[in-house]
Chain A
Amino acid sequence: MDACVKQRDYTAKDYKSEVKPIWCPGCGDYSVLAAITRALASLQLAPENVAVVSGIGCSSRIPAYTSVYGFHGVHGRALPVATGLKIARPDLTVLVTGGDGDGFSIGGNHFLHACRRNVDLTYIVMDNQVYGMTKGQASPTTDPDWEGSKLTPDGAGIESFHPLVVALAAGANFIARCSSSDPNNVADIITQAIRHPGFSMVQVLSPCVTFRPEQLEWKHMVRTAAVDVTDDAARAARRLMTDDGFNVGKVLYKGDRPAYQPEAKGAAAVADLEADFAL
């Protein structure tokens, strides 16, 4: 771009709104919000050309905390809203934010098909293995023996869900895991995810200090994944199937499928279609 045309340099602050988050002190989502604004600044995207779309949950509150265009819809449906927006407006950069309950439980079907459809979206899931907004129930990523919920006092009793394995199997074009304890790394991963064409899935381990205080230990449990990015889905699957969920900080898989973007370039007049009905 011609340097003369550029109005200004954006900083992370330019992407933050004045609205005060509803999150608990110490929530991992604060640093994910900061990472998103840093990623947008590193890409120097004009705020008006970016949209952040979400559903319902603590982390789904992010759109209003940014200064870009935002859409805060109903529970579980962020991905379809974002899909419609990106297909109708391919010129925009569209991010989707949400939690593990919103994305993998009520929105599970959309998650599968968003991976499959491979529209150029960046999906940032703040995974804290709990429903926080409703005050602590088991989510699809909660371990089966977690007894901290009044709804399932003896534990959920069912195996947890492995979002990145599912994302890979369903066709996501970019897969990464990071930890909110390292916001610079999260910003770097999100930046790469936005740059990569197609559907990018970023899982961020983001502790819920209120309903899962034991997750405060996560910052000591995570380790930088000792692997380099692969474009081999079979290899990526093997790694993901065998890791313990704490290998973070790296892009784990990058595919080369072209993004799905139906072209809208016909220039016929609507009246021309009347020929269909003429006798």
Chain B
Amino acid sequence: MGGQTVSLVMAGSGGAGVVTAGSLLLEAAARAGWYAYMTRSSGPQIRGGEAAVMIRLGTEPLASHDDRFHLLVGVDWQNVGRFAAEIPLGPESLIIGDPGEGETPEVFTRSGAQQIALPMKALAKTVPDGRPNMVAFGAIAGMIGLTEDVVVGVLRDTLKRKGEAAIAASLAAFRAGVEAAADFPAVPRLPATQADTSERWSITGNEATGMGALRGGVRFVAAYPITPATEVLEWLAPALPKVGGVLVQAEDELASINQIIGGSYGGVPSLTATSGPGLALMTESLGLAVAAEVPIVVIDVMRVGPSTGIATKSEQADLNIAVYGLHGDAPHLVLAPTSVADCLFTTQWAVHLAESLQTAAIVLTDQAMGQARAVMPRSAAVSFIGQREKPAALAEGVQYKRYANTASGVSPMAIPGMAGYTYTADGLEHNETGTPSSQASDHQAQLDKRLRKLTGYNYGDHWADITGDEDADTAILTWGSSAGPAREALERLRAAGHAVKLVAVRLISPVQPEKFAEALKGVERVLVVEQSHSGQFHRYLRAQYDLPRQVKALHHPGPLAVRPGAIVEHITQWS
């Protein structure tokens, strides 16, 4: 967005080494002072399946992929055609293939892209221990303007343990690629920069989520592995003990959510991460956390559903279960980061809100965001004031009321170890002291209290990211990883002279009707953008907010990402 960008894909079958080469390319680009955004697509195989790394590099921070890729390099084409829909190309694109690996699949060539032969395997053979993926890396580096000195540094650091011979072999293969591509047709070249990269990070969304949890104060995590959330937990596993926390692998998701309820009841901010199937299993106990008022945070890295769906690919279709999945009237928090970087902030904020409001918070990220790696500005540390409220000293003879019907709805929460405050936390409806009660008046009072603490809280400006033209009569409404392409679309539209506003909602629930109305003041038409088959976000907005009379919805299921161009088209062709 802004600045210059180049978009490329490296694809190949298992063993072709495209993920390795893509990671090296990303690292080198970062050191060259460019920003980067990289996603991966893999086949279903456990090991060694076909893979594609999609990389966009630019001179400014990037929030999304482009509409099309400038360059597709197929180290080989075995099963790579399966990714075709995720790799949009056009007549201006280039496809580099190895003539020894057969024809480029028709699903790619029908785009009209220009085809170029690069005998990667044969060139690799000219170098002792040379590998075709390094030839591909060299060709790409040469074409986009990445200089050898940066690459040498990356190879040295990455292959240190493999020894000098391995470094030399990789470098020789890399050079062969650079040379062979010297007179290939042009793709956008990025300018050399002298940028100070000391304040930049290379981070995935899942890592950022983990970091946000720690910044928020989480010190107990229960984990059950599930694609694509596992990396959140695997990043936290060694990180937690360093800061005085603990991670436990649970026997299933029912156990992981109940373990964190136990840990949090004990006074330790607690979190788990899962994906759709796990969230479905956790919903009963989410209700327990709401009723017993135990703060917990559940990260849902969404994948294609329903059921097992497509476990390795992205979709924004868990919104309904996150908002409506709990039985009974169970007000809770649902939040969604709007970018890779925002996974950190939103998770930290979710911990803060859960602790302050003593309830369950669900954070909806997704595979595209969670497994994307971004080279981005370092995320500044934010500190929130106020955490879990503990009871003040009690007067002699006064009984502690765990669920006291306070004005704010938040009742000071004792933790085990505090003498004189013992109580029983209960999923049964209860009175103010926590004693089970089936009386209508207690139910009404506790329902009111649990709702009031959420609706009466001041969420400040964090409820949404609002950008663009303040007086615009057109707005784009979106959430989650669809906010990335929407931001890029907004820039393009404004550059073309359209007045548009973007509202990317971070706080999905509870709803913020006044702030929403304020944000949409003067707006006459809205385009709702999301990645779900049924338009869950659109329906949610319709149910919860007053929308202008003219509403259009741009939505499709995963795994295909929403492209900025599609958003631009919907706005510009709206007459």
State the A residues within 8 Å of B (CB): 19, 46-49, 51, 53, 61, 63-64, 66-74, 76-77, 79-89, 91-92, 109-110, 112-113, 262-274, 276-279
* Cα distance, A268 to B219, chains bound together (Å): 13
Q: B214 — which chain A residues lie within 8 A by C-beta?
A: 270, 273
Interface residues of B (CB under 8 A from A): 27, 30-31, 197-198, 200-203, 207, 211, 214-215, 219-220, 222, 239-248, 250-252, 254-268, 270, 284-285, 287-288, 292, 375, 378, 381, 416-428, 434-436
Contact call A48/B284, Cβ cutoff below 8 A:
no
B284 touches A74 (CB 8 A): yes
Q: In the complex, how many angstroms separate the beta carbon of B416 from the nearest chain A beta carbon?
A: 4
Q: How far is the CB of B382 from chain A (nearest CB, A)?
A: 12
**Closest approach, in angstroms, between the C-beta of B480 and any C-beta of chain A?**
22
Residues of A near B423 (CB, < 8 A) are: 69-70
| Distance between Cα atoms of A109 and B264 in the complex (Å) | 22
Q: Is the CB of A81 within 8 A of B424?
A: no
Instruction: State how many angstroms separate the Cβ of A51 from the closest Cβ of chain B.
Output: 5
Closest to B203 in A: A277
Contacts of A278 in B (CB 8 A): 198, 200-201, 378
B439 to A: closest C-beta gap in Å: 15
Bound-state CA distance A276–B421 (Å) is 42
Cα distance A112–B381 in the bound complex, in angstroms = 42
Contact sample, A vs B, 27 pairs, CB 8 Å cutoff: A46-B419, A47-B419, A67-B422, A69-B422, A69-B423, A70-B426, A74-B284, A77-B285, A82-B262, A84-B248, A85-B265, A85-B266, A85-B416, A88-B246, A88-B267, A88-B270, A89-B268, A92-B417, A109-B252, A110-B251, A264-B240, A267-B243, A272-B242, A273-B243, A277-B202, A277-B207, A278-B201
Name the distance in Å between A166's Cβ and chain B's nearest Cβ: 15
Residues of A near B270 (CB, < 8 A) are 84, 88
Q: Are A72's CB and B425's CB within 8 A? A: yes
B263 & A84 in contact (Cβ 8 Å cutoff) = yes
Q: Within 8 Å CB of B202, what residues of A?
A: 277, 279
Complex: how many Å from CA A194 to CA B243? Answer: 30
Given contacts A77-B285, A84-B270, A271-B381, contact A266 B425 (CB under 8 A): no
User: Measured between alpha carbons, how far is A88 from B417 in the docked complex, in Å?
Assistant: 13
Task: Report which of A19, A77, A92, A270 forms a contact with B416, defined as CB distance below 8 A.
Answer: A92
- B419–A73 CB distance below 8 A: no
Question: B176: shortest Cβ distance to chain A, in Å?
Answer: 27
Q: Is the CB of A88 within 8 A of B427?
A: no
Q: How far is the CB of B571 from chain A (nearest CB, A)?
A: 35
List B contacts of A76 (CB < 8 A). Answer: 254
Please, which residues of chain A bring their CB within 8 A of the CB of B201? Answer: 274, 277-279
Residues of B within 8 A of A66 (CB): 424
Asked if residues A73 and B261 are in contact (CB atoms below 8 Å), the reply is yes
In the bound complex, how far is the Cα of B381 from the Cα of A279, in angstroms? 18
A72-B428 contact given A77-B258, A264-B245, CB 8 Å threshold: yes
Please, which residue of chain A has its CB at the minimum distance from the CB of B268? A88
Report the minimum CB–CB distance from A207 to chain B (whole Å). 24
Nearest opposing residue in chain B for A52, CB measure: B424
Q: Is the CB of A72 within 8 A of B427?
A: yes
Q: Given A268-B243, A269-B243 in contact, is the A88-B263 Cβ separation under 8 Å?
A: yes
Kindly list chain A residues whose C-beta atoms are within 8 Å of the C-beta of B424: 63-64, 66, 69-72
Least Cβ–Cβ distance between B559 and chain A, in angstroms: 27
| CB neighbours of A265 from chain B (8 A) | 241, 244
Complex contact B422–A68 (CB within 8 A): yes
Q: How far is the CA of A264 from the CA of B416 in the complex (A)?
A: 18
Contact of B421 with A48 in the complex, beta carbons under 8 Å: yes
> Which chain A positions have C-beta within 8 A of B426?
64, 70-72
Identity of the chain B residue whose Cβ is nearest the Cβ of A260 in the assembled complex: B248
Contacting pair B211 A273 (CB below 8 A)? yes
